[in-house]
Amino acid sequence: MTSTSTAAGHSHPHESAAAQIAGAALYIDDLPEVRGTLYAAPILSKVAHGKLIGIDTQTALARSGVRAVLLAADVPGHKMLAAFAGDEPVFAIDTVQYVGQALGVVVADSMAQALHAARHVEAKIEPLPAVLDVRQALAAQSFVLPPVTVRRGDAAQALARAPHRLQGTLEVGGQEHFYLEGQIAYALPQEQNQWLIHSSTQHPGEVQHWVAHALGLDNHAVRVECRRMGGGFGGKETQAGHLAVWAAVAAHKLQRPVKLRLDRDDDFMLTGKRHPFSYDYQVGFDDTGRLCGLQVQMLAHCGFSADLSGPVADRAIFHADNAYFLQDVEISSYRCKLNTQSHTAFRGFGGPQGMIVTEAILGDIARHLQLDPLAVRQRNLYSEEPVDADANLKRNTTHYGMPVEGNILAPLLSKLELSAHYQQRREAILAWNSSSKVIQRGIAITPVKFGISFTATLFNQAGALVHVYLDGSISVNHGGTEMGQGLHTKVAQIVADELGVPLHRVRASASDTSKIPNASATAASAGTAVCRRPGDHPQSHAQLRGGGGAGLCQPHPALERRFLPHTQNPLRQNHPDRAAVLLLCLQRSLHRGGYRHPHR
């Protein structure tokens, strides 16, 4: 019942690679369009902040091919999106809050007609003061969520008694996702007021919830499918939901299929980016560069609504230590409301914004003391060294109280220093810089400690649906989404090994809310990632739990005793692959919701 060669641990082509090279892999804009499909384009605000007095749609409606203009009053269900904070309207209602905010959509016979007509909708907006500077937002206490402060020890006293002190500021800009496939949704009415939504999304379950909420329906009336995305990087975790809702509202109004594909310029204006951050810090340190005390103020540029700014800013706090022990520390995080688009998830999800400020501080310390920056970093690493003279307290616990286990950073950095010939290369660079007045060079080795999975641990779970057909072939559907990272390929490898069949016998199908309900977003580096301490032996795939659909389970002993005789039936001996899958399928059928609590 087991194959001699496992699928996992060996290089295999991406499951769609051949089709993608041949141009045969379908993305949403490639899907054959249903007869009668119409096209929508958003109407964007030209004012950063103002009172919405009225919208003149007559010129747009008079243009060739235009079928309708939809505004907030045309939303049949809830006028606010079903985001957790409930602070973002489907379409602007009484006020506009950033340049690019959607006031409504134009629906026409072609995409070009819809885009051109949207430019001819005239909005009467009475300008209001716009908050565009994060320092201004801080002074005005303009926040999308309450501030958060994390403390350990007494940072103020530690700073007062430190041999050396520095203070400074840092600005980190945002970043556009620039996925190759832009934001797109295709809403198709089905029978009995049901809906099929093709959405380029990292979170089909959330799109389902948002569309149902906007249409005033139960979730079971909306099915969301995503075969693949042409890139996501976090930009399609929440913000793909906007397009799906707009397309569905238009399709509901006109009772016709509606496709909405953002023009790239509109995408830039409308969707959120990586969160920019501003920092103020004070740091105290000794003659060797070891940190004594640290105070950091983080100002997250959130935009006009909360979106995912709360967990992004939280993760920035959690990653402010990076790889270093912070003994007396105070980190204050302010989630500032600005009149810009609402910033959102981006790879790293606040982690880079947390790590970079501490790395910049260590660089400042090294320059101040005229020390090698690597030596300063090594001096501050997590370790088993006692804290001061107290042997019971060690430098191995984060500022939020989590023990750091399996720490190999000190020996790893020392080995890299030697193997990379760091000191020799640094001396050569210093010699170059001393004689070059224009071009300067640099070298650095920077450690990283990064936590994967969701900080809201209830999302760290997975579901899968496995079908076994009479010919022994297997179809698997899971809660994750494919955006080029190869998740479907990895899941197929795990299923093949779990069931003891060749990889070609397993096929992963499109992500579909009618098959896997309530799935978490494909995010947080948890698609198929399995964490283990360095030096541990990998557990078998049968023992894994969770992980965006990749964790399959061992047959329950009771099921094994009950059904194993059926798998050993002599009639099945010529088809061991069929026998191997029976236990898993029987067990999966008993996991009615497809979910189990993750191990704690």
Instruction: Encode pLDDT of 12-43 as tens digits.
Output: 999 999 999 999 999 999 999 999 999 999 99
| DSSP code for 89 | B
Instruction: Encode pLDDT of 64-77 as tens digits.
Output: 999 999 999 999 99
> Quick check: 214 pLDDT over 70?
yes
The residue among 215, 213, 239, 211 whose CA lies nearest residue 225 is 211
> Quick check: 153 pLDDT over 90?
yes
At residue 300, what are phi and psi to the nearest 5 degrees? Answer: -85, 125
The CATH H-level superfamily of 31-128+178-270 is Aldehyde oxidase/xanthine dehydrogenase, a/b hammerhead (3.90.1170.50)
At residue 30, what are phi and psi to the nearest 5 degrees? Answer: -95, -15
Q: Give the residue-averaged pLDDT of 436-454.
A: 94
Instruction: Encode pLDDT of 517-551 as tens digits.
Output: 999 999 988 886 544 444 444 443 333 333 333 33
- pLDDT on residue 354: 98
Helices 576-590 & 487-499, crossing angle to 10 degrees?
A: 110
- pLDDT on residue 455: 87
Instruction: Encode pLDDT of 293-347 as tens digits.
Output: 999 999 999 999 999 999 999 999 999 999 999 999 999 999 999 999 999 999 9
**Percentage, residues of the chain above pLDDT 90:** 83
Instruction: Encode pLDDT of 266-281 as tens digits.
Output: 999 999 999 999 999 9
Instruction: Encode pLDDT of 339-395 as tens digits.
Output: 999 999 999 999 999 999 999 999 999 999 999 999 999 999 999 999 986 778 899
> Quick check: 124 pLDDT over 60?
yes
Containing 232, the helix (H) or strand (E) segment is: none
- pLDDT on residue 529: 56
E strands, 433-554, are 464-468, 474-478, 506-508, 511-512
Reported residue count of the chain is: 600
The residue among 274, 341, 336 whose CA lies nearest residue 301 is 336
**457-590 domain in CATH 1.10.8.100?**
no
- One DSSP character per residue, 92-129 reads --SEE-STT-EEEEEEESSHHHHHHHHTT-EEEEEE--
Q: What is the domain partition of the chain in residue ranges?
A: 31-128+178-270, 134-175+274-435, 457-590
- At position 15, the amino acid (one-letter code) is E
Q: Give the residue-averaged pLDDT of 120-142.
A: 98
Lowest average pLDDT, out of 120-134, 143-157, 353-367, 571-585, goes to 571-585
Across 480-496, b (16+ Cβ under 10 Å) vs e yields bbbbbbbbbbbbbbbbb
Residues in Cβ contact with 516 at an 8 Å cutoff, skipping those fewer than 6 apart: 463, 464, 465, 477, 478, 479, 549, 594
Q: What is the mean pLDDT of the chain?
A: 89
Q: pTM of the full predicted structure?
A: 0.89
Does 31-128+178-270 match 457-590 in CATH topology? no
- Top-tier CATH class for 134-175+274-435: alpha beta
> Quick check: 406 pLDDT over 70?
yes
Q: Left, alpha or beta for 153 (phi > 0: left; psi -120 to 50: alpha)?
A: left
Determine the Cα–Cα distance for residues 308 and 302; give it in Å rounded to an integer.
9
